[in-house]
Amino acid sequence: MPAKPCCKQNVGRVRPPRVESSRLAPALRRRNPSLNCTVRQNGLALVAVLWVLILLSLLAANLSQGSRSNGLLTVNLIDATRGKYASEAGMQWALWNLQQPTENRWLADGGPRLLEFDDIDVWVALQDESGKIDLNAAPVELLTGLFLAAGADGPQAEALADAILDYRDEDDLRRLNGAEDADYLAVGREDGAKDARFDKVEELQLVLGVTPALYRQVRSSVTVLNGQAGINPLYAPRLALLALPGADEGTVDQYIEQRRRNSLDGLPPPELPLPESPYVSQRRSGINYTVLAESRVGKVVRTRYSARMGRRGGGQRGGLTLTEIRREMQPLFEIEEP
């Protein structure tokens, strides 16, 4: 008998030759063009999806930032409203004080006083207008001294003082260092000198030569309500006192400190330590006032208001009214931040 094979032979099976994938892919794409198109479409879809994801991420980040900003704006708006009412409370506090007996009233020299609420500080100042320099009545010497005290040099101070007098008088005659209509036209201004009284302190900015910086320095020391050629030293601001002949910073600062100390101790006011001057007057006090109120809510929000208070009838016994309340943008007091 023939011997049986020890193992089975692979009969009829043919192993296909190996074809490398790098050669197969182009061949398949050539045989099936739709495969090439599908691959390209899938790539474009992937890129589109990535761009959509990027845009959605940016949109989400923007919405998140906007939500935080809106939240902060809402908080600031609430704090500003609280600050506004706190400032109004401060002004009412000053109005209440003026209705107290004379010995219990504040010294109305513009010194700040603190009114504290839970988390709001309100600084309040009361200023008797009789201590200020009247733009409609002050002589040229007092006006010159004011601008010298504000930092102007001699010729500039004299020019500003003459320009104020030319602005308020009714004639067209130009003073030695002043300014009439022709001088305004020479610098391109058609408004010219008013040739009438100042109606409000803000008109000082219209006088030729008065810069914004200079106006900010002197505005709290001038008025249109005094009606006197001189100032009342008991209530005069520092700059108005420095405008007096013979005044210097050391003497004026010492006098201001002494008058406030005497007021707190219930003592009579001190004598003015300056040479006798025709520009000192103690009349018309206790009639017109300016009240300033600045509230501080947290570390960000500041609300500032000023108002005018006057006695009805123009006498010292008339009832007080609070008028001309307005918002102030510049800081009202030189107080260090906490």
Q: What is the pLDDT of residues 134-170, one digit of tens each?
A: 999 999 999 999 999 999 999 999 999 999 999 999 9
Q: Which of 325, 331, 324, 309 is nearest to 98 (CA)?
A: 309
Q: What is the pLDDT of residues 82-108, one digit of tens each?
A: 999 999 999 999 999 988 888 889 999
**Full-model pTM:** 0.76
Environment class of 109 (CB within 10 Å of its CB; exposed 0-12, middle 13-18, buried 19+): buried
Q: Tell me how far apart the alpha carbons of residues 69 and 63 are, in angstroms, rounded to a whole number.
A: 10
Tell me the pLDDT band of 10, cut-offs 50, 70 and 90: very low
Under 8 Å between Cβ of 133 and 146: yes
Element (H, E) at 323: strand 320-327
Q: What is the pLDDT of residues 246-265, one digit of tens each?
A: 999 999 999 999 999 999 99
Question: How confident is the prediction for the chain on average, in pLDDT?
Answer: 85
| Residue 104 backbone dihedrals phi, psi, to 5 degrees | -105, 0
Going by their DSSP bridges, the two strands 288-297 and 120-128 should be labelled as antiparallel
Q: What is the pLDDT of residues 291-300, one digit of tens each?
A: 999 999 988 8
Residue 122: pLDDT over 80: yes
